[in-house]
Amino acid sequence: MMQNVHLAPETDEDDLYSGYNDYNPTYDTEDLENDTAFQQAVRTSHGRRHPSKTSLASSMGRPMTGAIQDGVTRPMTAVRAAGFTKAALRGSSFDPLGQSRGPAPPLEAKNEDSPEEKIRQLEKKVNELVEESCIANSCGDLKLALEKAKDAGRKERVLVRQREQVTTPENINLDLTYSVLFNLANQYSANEMYTEALNTYQVIVKNKMFSNAGKLKMNMGNIYLKQRNYSKAIKFYRMALDQIPSVHKEMRIKIMQNIGVTFIKTGQYSDAINSFEHIMSMAPNLKAGFNLILSYFAIGDQEKMKKSFQKLIAVPLEIDEDDKYISPSDDPHTNLVIEAIKNDHLRQMERERKAMAEKYIMTAAKLIAPVIETSFAVGYDWCVEVVKASQYVELANDLEINKAITYLRQKDFTQAVDTLKMFEKKDSRVKSAAATNLSFLYYLENEFAQASSYADLAVNSDRYNPSALTNKGNTVFANGDYEKAAEFYKEALRNDSSCTEALYNIGLSYKKLNRLSEALDCFLKLHAILRNSAQVLYQIANVYELMEDPNQAIEWLMQLISVVPTDSRALSKLGELHDSEGDKSQAFQYYYESYRYFPSNIEVIEWLGAYYIDTQFCEKAIQYFERASLIQPTQVKWQLMVASCFRRSGNYQKALDTYKDIHKKFPENVECLRFLVRLCTDIGLKEVQEYATKLKRLEKMKEIREQRIKSGRDGSGGSRGKREGSAGSDSGQNCSASSKSERLSAKLRALPGTNEPYESSSNKEIDASYVDPLGPQVERPKTAAKKRVDEDDFADEELGDDLLPE
Q: Are the C-beta atoms of residues 753 and 736 closer than 8 Å to each other?
A: no
Amino acid letter at 705? Answer: R
Report the predicted TM-score, pTM, of the whole model to 2 decimal places. Answer: 0.55
Q: What does the pLDDT average to over 197-220?
A: 87
Q: Are the C-beta atoms of residues 639 and 740 closer than 8 Å to each other?
A: no
Top-confidence range, 35-49, 67-81, 770-784:
35-49
- Residue 674: the pLDDT is 84
Q: State the CB neighbour count (10 A cutoff) for residue 655.
A: 22
Domain presence at residue 62 = no
- Residue 232: the pLDDT is 93
- Residue 70: the pLDDT is 53
Residue 757 clears pLDDT 50, i.e. is over it: no
CA 123 to chain centre: 42
- Residue 469: the pLDDT is 92
Say which residue, 804 or 97, is predicted with more confidence. Answer: 97
Measure the CA–CA gap between 436 and 223, rounded to whole angstroms. Answer: 47
- Residue 536: the pLDDT is 94
Q: Each residue of 408-444: pLDDT tens digit?
A: 777 777 887 877 777 766 666 677 788 888 888 888 8
Domain presence at residue 606 = no
- Comparing CA positions, the residue from 511, 555, 489, 501 lying closest to residue 794 is 501
- Residue 780: the pLDDT is 29
Residue 262 clears pLDDT 60, i.e. is over it: yes
Q: Are the C-beta atoms of residues 605 and 624 closer than 8 Å to each other?
A: yes
Domain presence at residue 663 = no
- Residue 21: the pLDDT is 60
Q: Each residue of 695-706: pLDDT tens digit?
A: 888 888 888 888
Measure the CA–CA gap between 568 and 572, rounded to whole angstroms. Answer: 6
- Residue 489: the pLDDT is 94
In sequence order, the 6+-apart residues with CB closer than 8 A to the CB of 745 are 606, 607, 610, 771, 772, 773, 774
Measure the CA–CA gap between 624 and 645, rounded to whole angstroms. Answer: 11
CA atoms within 13 A on the CB side of 593: 19
CA-based R_g, the chain, Å: 49
Which ranges constitute the DSSP H helices of 547-635? Answer: 550-563, 568-580, 584-597, 602-614, 618-631
Q: What does the pLDDT average to over 231-236?
A: 93
Number of domains in the chain: 1
At 187, the pLDDT band (50, 70, 90 cuts) reads very high
Q: Each residue of 490-511: pLDDT tens digit?
A: 999 999 888 999 999 999 999 9
Measure the CA–CA gap between 63 and 66, rounded to whole angstroms. Answer: 8
Question: Percentage of the chain with pLDDT > 70?
Answer: 73
Q: Each residue of 94-135: pLDDT tens digit?
A: 666 666 666 766 766 566 677 788 888 888 999 999 999 999
Residue 331 clears pLDDT 80, i.e. is over it: no
Q: What does the pLDDT average to over 47-66?
A: 48
At 728, the pLDDT band (50, 70, 90 cuts) reads very low
Q: What does the pLDDT average to over 55-66?
A: 48
Domain presence at residue 491 = yes
Pairs from 722-731 (Cβ < 8 Å, separation ≥ 24): 724/634, 724/635, 725/635, 725/636, 725/637, 725/666, 725/669, 726/670, 727/669, 727/670, 727/671, 727/674
In sequence order, the 6+-apart residues with CB closer than 8 A to the CB of 802 are 466, 467, 470, 499, 501
Question: Percentage of the chain with pLDDT > 90?
Answer: 33
Measure the CA–CA gap between 554 and 580, rounded to whole angstroms. Answer: 11
Phi and psi, residue 72, nearest 5°:
-130, 135
Q: How many residues does the chain have?
A: 806
Q: Each residue of 352-386: pLDDT tens digit?
A: 888 898 899 989 988 998 888 888 888 888 988 88
Angle at 203 between CA 202 and CA 206, to 5 degrees: 75
Q: What does the pLDDT average to over 264-285?
A: 92
Q: What does the pLDDT average to over 501-530?
A: 93
CATH of the domain at 447: 1.25.40.10
> How would you label 71-85 residue by residue, b for 16+ Cβ within 10 Å and e otherwise?
eebeeeeeeeeeeeb
Residue 18 clears pLDDT 60, i.e. is over it: no
Q: Are the C-beta atoms of residues 241 and 207 closer than 8 Å to each other?
A: no
Residue 79 clears pLDDT 60, i.e. is over it: no
- Residue 419: the pLDDT is 77
In sequence order, the 6+-apart residues with CB closer than 8 A to the CB of 459 are 432, 465, 468, 469, 472
Measure the CA–CA gap between 35 and 530, rounded to whole angstroms. Answer: 101
Say which residue, 756 or 301, is predicted with more confidence. Answer: 301
Q: What does the pLDDT average to over 638-648?
A: 88
Measure the CA–CA gap between 671 and 741, rounded to whole angstroms. Answer: 8
- Residue 15: the pLDDT is 56
- Comparing CA positions, the residue from 676, 738, 728, 721 lying closest to residue 699 is 728
Residue 139 clears pLDDT 50, i.e. is over it: yes
Residue 213 clears pLDDT 90, i.e. is over it: no
Instruction: Give me the domain span that covers residue 471.
Output: 423-509
At 25, the pLDDT band (50, 70, 90 cuts) reads low
Domain presence at residue 496 = yes
Amino acid letter at 457? Answer: L
Q: Range with the lowest mean pLDDT among 35-44, 125-134, 169-178, 652-661?
A: 35-44
Domain presence at residue 559 = no
Residue 64 clears pLDDT 90, i.e. is over it: no
Average per-residue pLDDT for the chain = 77
Q: What does the pLDDT average to over 738-765?
A: 33
At 65, the pLDDT band (50, 70, 90 cuts) reads low
Say which residue, 395 or 750, is predicted with more confidence. Answer: 395
Domain presence at residue 562 = no
Q: Are the C-beta atoms of residues 243 and 217 closer than 8 Å to each other?
A: yes
At 688, the pLDDT band (50, 70, 90 cuts) reads confident
Q: Each residue of 707-722: pLDDT tens digit?
A: 888 877 766 554 444 3
At 182, the pLDDT band (50, 70, 90 cuts) reads very high
Top-confidence range, 260-274, 380-394, 659-673:
260-274
- Residue 381: the pLDDT is 86
